[in-house]
Structure 1
Amino acid sequence: MSGKERREQLIQISRTLFAEKGFDGTSVEEIAATANVSKPVVYEHFGGKEGVYAVVVDREMQKLLAMVTEALSASHSLIKLERAALALLAYVEENSEGFRILVRDSHAASGTGTFASLINDIASQVEDVMVDEFAGRGYDPKLAPMYAQMLVGMVALTGQWWLDVRRPPREEVAAHLVNLAWNGLVGLDPRPRLTASSRGMEQRRAPLPPRPTDKELREMGKAREREAKEQEKAREREAKEQEKLARDQEKARLREQRELEKAREREFREQERLFKEQEKVREREAKEQEKVREREAKEQEKVREREAKEQEKIRMREAKAAEREAVRQTGDTDRPGEGREKIESSE
């Protein structure tokens, strides 16, 4: 898996965990375990839980803001309101995990802000629309920011409620939202006032609690400082633990590397020993074969010598036999003449 693919995998896993358990309920260990990686991999890509949370929140805010901004590009104000309500409800329905992350109490590490800041961004766009509407209807344009917050807040809170109940259907909820908002805007009183009875209740309201004394303020300041120090210590401890874990993993990696090198060295020596043994065996076999060839050559030489001697004996016997035969034949030839001489002498 490439670095880009691993980063995207970690973002998607973190998104699911943050939606299910929230920022505080999710740990780096859980993110790493779900992704089947070690904790240093998460730190390498995001620097910690805060980093990946910031990426997740930023993505969801940009996605929702883009959908609402596109809806507000319509020409007629009623169409803008309808499409904006539909866009928010569509985001809630299609990106439930992302919306759950946004509506939680966002952590300070989210970087780009909280759901409230997102609502402010949307309200600022609605404000531009309402300024024109107020100016055309004779209302005070300075009140447009307040009405924009009211309108967007109403839609956002309805979206939070609909996230869990999911009824009635999305289009019907949007229609009711637009009905309340649009018809309320149509009959808007340019100078609204509370009734006399309500103003009387406001006057009879219990007095506000007394302002804290300087001593109490100092105590609260010290308490906040102590809390900040404790949080800083906790972050330092976590950082030290992360460093220790990284060192331990590096040591383990080095040990494993050394063991592998030793194993490769042992394997090389064993192969070298086997090669030498095989070389010795080949040398012994070559010597044995040479001895066998020498013995065979000697045996063949002896055989040839014996054959030569036998042939020599045969030739000698044949020569003697031929000589005797020649002598015999010579003797037979000489004896008839001698007889005639004897006969003639006797006569």
Structure 2
Amino acid sequence: MSLSSLNITLFFTGYGPPSALNYGVFVISLVVYFTTVVANVTLMLVICLDASLHKPMYVFLFNLAINGLIGSSAVLPKIMDNLVDDIKDMLYTDCIIQVFCINVYGTCAYALLTLMAYDRYVSICKPLQYHNIMTPGKIRLLLFIAYFVPICSLGIQVYLTSRLPVCRYTINKLFCDNLAVVNLSCAKNPWADLYGICLVILFVVLPLIFVVFSYVQILFVSLKASVSAQRKALKTCTPHLITFINFSLASLFSVIYNRFNFSLSKEVNVFMSVHFILIPPLLHPLIYGIRTKEINNSIAKIFRRQIFALGFNLKTEQRCNEALFITSK
């Protein structure tokens, strides 16, 4: 990034003038962001506090919740600020950081969902070897790869984008993305475009192929199993399938919105632009909280424990007060 770019201010034209729609979107964004934070933090606390959930699937789910918070926090607070502010602007450096965080959120989410599919594949297709394959050391290695490779690869992409000279200063969207920043430049870097295509193949196409392959194998194994085993496999895989399909659709909407210009209403444009950031981080913990029996049981267990502890403390305090009253007499 050149020194001349450090103090550049970019302006967003996607918000339009202050209106009732802006304030309505602000309220919706605030409620969704608050719910997203509460839902993901609750899920993370439940997984941390219940030792029975210290399993590979829930370790990956814990990291998916962290990733969702990163994606939401990178975009929604700034969107809410611009919705109610008269001047919708952002420093170029902050825009580059936002692009990096959004890309990390998207690629790491796909990586984590791929690891969860692999966990389901080993659990159902190789149940006797599961504990030998999914060891704590291997889980740490897989998580390291899921974070390290995307962060380093995307760091290079964002660096290439930041080196482009800036000759435009308006973005017709609600937040920064890599294509929007590239379009601010009058120059083109074909190597950066080629590198971006390679990243899409590596972090989107290949994970999609792997997940589909995993579930094809799970389907073949399940068809040969008993009815009860089929039901158990379906129950185990349903939350992950719903999560993966939901995130893939959100990503598809985002790509369509970023790559193609359709004559859509402002409301539809607003929804398509924030859907990728707004919906998946909110739905992922809710889907697993509703569809996963172990998490439901853990939440109920923690609540019962807290209620019991509160009742015990109240009884103890009452007995102490009674003892003090008798002593004073």
The reply to whether TM is greater than 0.5 is no
TM-score normalised according to structure 2 size: 0.23
Larger radius of gyration: 1
TM-score normalised according to structure 1 size: 0.22
The structure, 1 or 2, with the larger RCO (C-alpha pairs under 8 Å, 6+ apart) is: 2
